[in-house]
Structure 1
Amino acid sequence: MTRPAKSVLNKHAQTCALVLDGNQVKVRLQAERLATGVPVHVDWVRFTVLLRNAPLPGPEILFPTPSADDEVEPVSGMERDQRGVRLMRLRKLLAQCKDADFSPAAQAMELAQRVCETLGPDYMVAPEVRKGHDFYGRRWSIERNDVEVGWVGYLASGDSPRQQAQAKTMHVNVYGSACTFAQSGWRDHMANLIDDVAGVITRCDLALDFFDGIRGGMDRVKSDYQAGLMDSGGRRLKCNMVGDWCNGKARSFYVGSKEVGKQTNVYEKGHQLFGDKDQSCWMRAELRWGNKARVLNTNMLRRPADFFGGASDWHAAILAEAEAVSFPVHVPCNPRLAAETIEAEVVRNVRWQIDVAAPSIALAFEHLGIDEFLEIVMHKKAPGRLQRFGKQEIACAYAKAFKRVTKGAGAGHAMA
């Protein structure tokens, strides 16, 4: 018998591992729903903490007692999983930090360890300092089975004023894979931790799974949107359809926008985990809250169903189909934050006009008649980033944005 090629065997092994992981995810989600009675799962959490509010490390970190163990060289894989050995390595890493970096590094490590405690005994801080993400200079990785499932970032990656302000904070990012396999009760413990350190939630994903599919499938989701059932505040939100809709494979339907901190993605979860030939009908409605124009309450972690159902009438209705009992909580846009979001986009647009488009506009204005010039600039759609705002909102922000860009700048020169 001819043996299959090595590449075929590797591909088969990867496929088997993916299916196994997918089945584990499904079993965990079903177990969580059975244990808590809540069908909405918290699938991602991010929060920021001011350095002055971050937990202080214990005396064993600040004042380590020298011992022979401190000279231990890298150990075996089995020993690497022992918390005592990891702590020893972390202490050695901290001892190598510059004085100016020691306190942020030690506080970030303490915060990472507390996050691990909320998630469960399977989670540990990786015994190495890694390059940071999202403009943080360094990070402590949070691992499960030696795979990163989250991180705590600290220090800045640059010297700009904005990044120096960021250096006064640290950021916790807990991936969906960490949330899925966390111990029972982790949501309440995480909410308490965030409250204890006066943290600000910047992202919280709430997922509602339909393991046997949503009645009517993805076509029903599309028709619900077209019927206005997903409207919010009397406005039709933007949608985006991704995937193979012609053949009904791996489809996603996005409603809303991450830029304003509220986006829903309804997608075929079974296809995502097992491939587009999956026949499980598993669908997920995932609501992604962000803090760009709202304040996210830690009660989102304690009562995820209430905050899912409060997103819109459609969310409340789909939650009822999952036989969930909830008391919908609306998360309003903060008027000040919403105004700042609009102004920021208008400022970006005005700055582009002055820095990039002005020479071409000036040339057209000089050499064309008024009618021809107006034909070029009138009755055009707003640029893509501004299309989600109303004309009145843009009008209110435009004059202020223009003054902000040109203030203190010479004629025809935009402020940097």
Structure 2
Amino acid sequence: MTRPTRSVLNKHSKTCSLVLEGNEIKFRLLAERTETGNIVHVDWVRFTCLLRNAPMPGIETLFPTPTPDVDMEPVSEQERSERGQRLMRLRKLLAKLPNAEFAPSAQAMELAERVAETLGEDFTVAPELRKGHDFYRHRWSIERNGSEVGWVGFLASGDSPRQQAQAKTMHVNLYGTACTFAQNGWRDHLANLIDDVGGTMTRIDLALDFFEGITGGMERIKRDYENGLCDVAGKRPKCNMVGDWCNGKARSFYMGSKEAGKQTNFYEKGHQLFGEKDATNWLRAELRYGNKLRVLNTDMLRRPQDYFAGASDYHAAILREAKPAAQALPEPVPCEAKLAAQTIEAEVTRNVRWLRDVAAPSMALAFEHLGTDAFLEMVTNQNVPGRLRRFKQTEIRRAYSSAHHRTRKAESAGHAFAQA
């Protein structure tokens, strides 16, 4: 028998690792369905909260000295030693932080500990401060089996006005692994935590798995889209096809867009987990909601099945196909109402016309007799008129110039008509 080469062994080891990991994920997802009766899985969560809403814990609250409870199993010497070493590292780390960073770091650490607690006993906060992501300066990593599965970011990496505002917040990002291996009931606990700290969800992924495949496979999804079955309110969402569609491998079919805050990815999950030789036909429909143009309610964590069904008639239909007896009360997440451009133009034009026809004589008199400095002092730093407060400054600025020219033309036309 020929001894396999190292490359063959490595390839075989990698394949076995993929299979084991894939089977573990599938087992956990099936267990979740049994425990909750819910076939829609939350696969990613992100939320932001203000620093001022987070409690400022004391050092002993953050890092209590381990003492075994009489009703608990005794702590081994090795366990006690590991906890003590971790505590010592954390104390030294916090002691080195500048005063301006200590409080945010402690608050972010507390939030990370609370998030880890909601996920379950397998999750811990890494004892070292790491470089931040997404323009946050630092992050506390949330780990499972020594691997990062989420993080809490705090303080800004820059000094721009936008990042100065970001520095007043903390951000929590939980990856799919954290959501998959979290303890039963974690969704409700996390929703309550977000509510407690006045948080705002910025992303949530809702996944529906067809472990044995869906009738017609990926080609059927493409046909359904082309036949208009995926249309929403008479409009066809954008689409994007990724992967090897010619040979039927690792395909993804995207509908919707991140810019609109709602995108669904139908993809071959089995290929992702088990590689190209996957024989499961496992297909996942992953609905990704973002907070661009939408408000994400924490009830999406509590009732993911309802919000999946509420995305469109097509989402509701494939949910019924996955489980005909699935109980779901479709709950849509509508776009925030956009003020029509003509409404902005109308309001700004009304303001300009009032300024020209009513206020202009008084303003001209004040300008003539007060002088430039006194006049500017009187009219600057004023509140926006009530009817315009619902608009953004950029929208008002764009509309104001055109409204000024339009009213001037109307005035000129009026004078010409009067003279005629």
TM-score, normalised relative to structure 2: 0.76
- 1:26 maps to 26
The separation in 2 between residues aligned to 1:59 and 1:338, in whole angstroms, is 52
- 2:213 maps to 213
The separation in 2 between residues aligned to 1:86 and 1:123, in whole angstroms, is 15
Q: After TM superposition, where is structure 1 displaced by more than 3 Å over at least 4 residues in a row?
A: 61-65, 78-85, 336-339, 399-404
The separation in 1 between residues aligned to 2:280 and 2:59, in whole angstroms, is 52
Is 2:264–2:287's contact at 8 Å kept on the other side of the alignment? Answer: yes
Matches within 5 A, 1:5-20: 5-20=5-20
- 1:233 maps to 233
> Shift of residue 338 of structure 1?
10
Is 1:64–1:91's contact at 8 Å kept on the other side of the alignment? Answer: no
Matches within 5 A, 1:78-89: 82-83=82-83, 85-89=85-89
Matches within 5 A, 1:401-416: 403=398
Higher Cα Rg: structure 1 or 2?
A: 2
- 2:134 maps to 134
**1:123 counterpart = 2:123:** yes
Matches within 5 A, 1:196-275: 196-275=196-275
Change (3 A) 1:62 1:33: closer
> Shift of residue 299 of structure 1?
0.4
Is 1:292–1:337's contact at 8 Å kept on the other side of the alignment? Answer: no
Is 2:18–2:275's contact at 8 Å kept on the other side of the alignment? Answer: no
Which SS does the other structure have where 1:293 is aligned?
coil
- The gaps in structure 2 that reach 5 residues or longer are 66-77, 342-391, 403-420
Which SS does the other structure have where 2:30 is aligned?
helix
The separation in 2 between residues aligned to 1:35 and 1:87, in whole angstroms, is 36
Matches within 5 A, 1:1-400: 1-60=1-60, 82-83=82-83, 85-323=85-323, 324-336=326-338, 400=395
> Shift of residue 322 of structure 1?
1.8
Moved more, 285-294 or 217-226: 217-226
The separation in 2 between residues aligned to 1:19 and 1:42, in whole angstroms, is 22
> Shift of residue 401 of structure 1?
9.1
Amino acid at match of 2:289: W
The separation in 2 between residues aligned to 1:269 and 1:211, in whole angstroms, is 9
Which SS does the other structure have where 2:127 is aligned?
strand
Change (3 A) 1:337 1:251: farther
Post-superposition CA distance 1:176-199 (Å, at most 9, x none)? 001000000000000000000000
> Shift of residue 82 of structure 1?
4.7
Which SS does the other structure have where 2:128 is aligned?
strand
The separation in 2 between residues aligned to 1:156 and 1:336, in whole angstroms, is 30
Is 1:293–1:337's contact at 8 Å kept on the other side of the alignment? Answer: no
The separation in 1 between residues aligned to 2:200 and 2:59, in whole angstroms, is 27
Is 1:118–1:190's contact at 8 Å kept on the other side of the alignment? Answer: yes
The separation in 1 between residues aligned to 2:8 and 2:340, in whole angstroms, is 52
Change (3 A) 1:217 1:52: same
> Shift of residue 325 of structure 1?
1.0
Amino acid at match of 2:211: F
The separation in 2 between residues aligned to 1:81 and 1:333, in whole angstroms, is 53
> Shift of residue 335 of structure 1?
1.7
Change (3 A) 1:63 1:27: closer
Is 1:45–1:204's contact at 8 Å kept on the other side of the alignment? Answer: yes
- 2:344 maps to none
Which SS does the other structure have where 2:129 is aligned?
strand
Is 1:128–1:140's contact at 8 Å kept on the other side of the alignment? Answer: yes
> Shift of residue 402 of structure 1?
8.3
Amino acid at match of 1:156: A
The separation in 2 between residues aligned to 1:246 and 1:92, in whole angstroms, is 57
- 2:385 maps to none
Post-superposition CA distance 1:217-268 (Å, at most 9, x none)? 1111111111211112321111011111122111111000011110000011
Is 1:61–1:106's contact at 8 Å kept on the other side of the alignment? Answer: no
> Shift of residue 95 of structure 1?
1.6
The separation in 1 between residues aligned to 2:184 and 2:81, in whole angstroms, is 22
Identity over aligned pairs, percent:
72
Aligned residues: 337
The separation in 2 between residues aligned to 1:334 and 1:90, in whole angstroms, is 43
Is 1:309–1:319's contact at 8 Å kept on the other side of the alignment? Answer: yes
> Shift of residue 156 of structure 1?
0.6
Post-superposition CA distance 1:298-357 (Å, at most 9, x none)? 000000000000000000000011222100001110024999xxxxxxxxxxxxxxxxxx
Post-superposition CA distance 1:126-161 (Å, at most 9, x none)? 010100000000000000000000000001111111
Which SS does the other structure have where 2:219 is aligned?
helix
The separation in 1 between residues aligned to 2:172 and 2:80, in whole angstroms, is 24
- 1:365 maps to none
Amino acid at match of 1:235: K
Amino acid at match of 1:301: L
Change (3 A) 1:199 1:337: farther
Please provide the CA RMSD for this pair: 2.6
> Shift of residue 3 of structure 1?
2.7
The separation in 2 between residues aligned to 1:165 and 1:338, in whole angstroms, is 29
> Shift of residue 115 of structure 1?
0.3
Is 1:270–1:278's contact at 8 Å kept on the other side of the alignment? Answer: yes
Which SS does the other structure have where 1:138 is aligned?
strand
Which SS does the other structure have where 1:260 is aligned?
coil
The separation in 2 between residues aligned to 1:178 and 1:29, in whole angstroms, is 12
